[in-house]
Amino acid sequence: ELKQLFNANIERIECYDISNISGQNAVGSMVIFSAKNGNFKPKKGDYRKFKIKTVARIDDPAMMAEILERRLKHPEWPLPQLIILDGGKGQLSAGLKILKKLKLSIPVCALAKKEEELYLPERKNPLPLKSLSSELAFLFQRIRDEAHRFAISYHRALRSQGLAPLKIRTKLRQTPKASYF
């Protein structure tokens, strides 16, 4: 069913997600699922984290474009046969622009969590996941949820690192003696 949907033999799937709070500490994640004996399994050693460097405002599609472009400029990393972007039309459009810019022909789709819909380049309207087989719908959800989990954990780690120095600076202002530390 996956092969029919994307008209391609798919052995490696990459999924991308963005995590931020009002644009602060914005990060992206890339998770990999590889086919083994017909089943897709996470390939955690190939996961990647990205700090957003070029987008300073709240703009998930632009952030998605940044991490996708940065990733695809790594020729030493094997190319996927399918790219899944967490999001909707905006993320799909951003992904398509990057693929065109880099002259790459890789099937891409976007998966919107709220409506559980799959956005495909050749379809005007999204495809509800419930219209797919339960196995394929579950695969899409599992991959998307793993990318989300990985992005959130990285974002939380960065936030917690940022809070410790802030607490120290606050204590230094409140405590006249440096010997306190």
Domain range annotation of the chain: 2-180
Top pLDDT among 174 and 68 is at: 68
* Mean of pLDDT values over 88-102: 97
Name the least confident of 155-159, 164-168, 171-175. 164-168
10 Å CB burial of residue 46 (0-12, 13-18, 19+) is middle
3-state SS, residue 150: helix
* Mean of pLDDT values over 113-128: 93
pLDDT band at 163 (very low <50, low <70, confident <90, very high): very low
* Mean of pLDDT values over 109-135: 94
* Mean of pLDDT values over 100-120: 95
Rounded CA separation 19/17 (Å)? 7
* Mean of pLDDT values over 150-161: 73
Identify which of 137, 111, 113 has the alpha carbon closest to the alpha carbon of residue 1: 137
* Mean of pLDDT values over 149-160: 75
Query: Three-state secondary structure along 12-54?
Result: EEEEEEEEEECCEEEEEEEEEEEEECCEEEECHHHCEEEECCC
pLDDT digits (tens, 9 = 90+) for 17-66: 988 776 567 889 999 999 988 799 999 999 999 988 888 788 899 999 99
Q: What type of residue is 10?
A: I
Q: What is the pLDDT of residue 175?
A: 62
What's the Cα-to-Cα distance from 179 to each of 11, 57, 84, 168, rounded to whole Å? Answer: 59, 41, 53, 13
What's the Cα-to-Cα distance from 24 to each of 29, 32, 139, rounded to whole Å? Answer: 16, 26, 31
Q: What type of residue is 42?
A: P
Show the tokens assigned to 5: 């949907």
pLDDT band at 134 (very low <50, low <70, confident <90, very high): very high
* Mean of pLDDT values over 103-109: 97
* Mean of pLDDT values over 75-100: 97
Q: State whether CATH 3.30.420.340 applies to domain 2-180.
A: yes
What's the Cα-to-Cα distance from 12 to each of 141, 154, 167, rounded to whole Å? Answer: 16, 23, 43
Q: Where are any strands of DSSP class E within the chain? A: 12-21, 24-36, 39-42, 48-51, 82-86, 108-112, 117-119, 127-128
Show the tokens assigned to 161: 């690192």
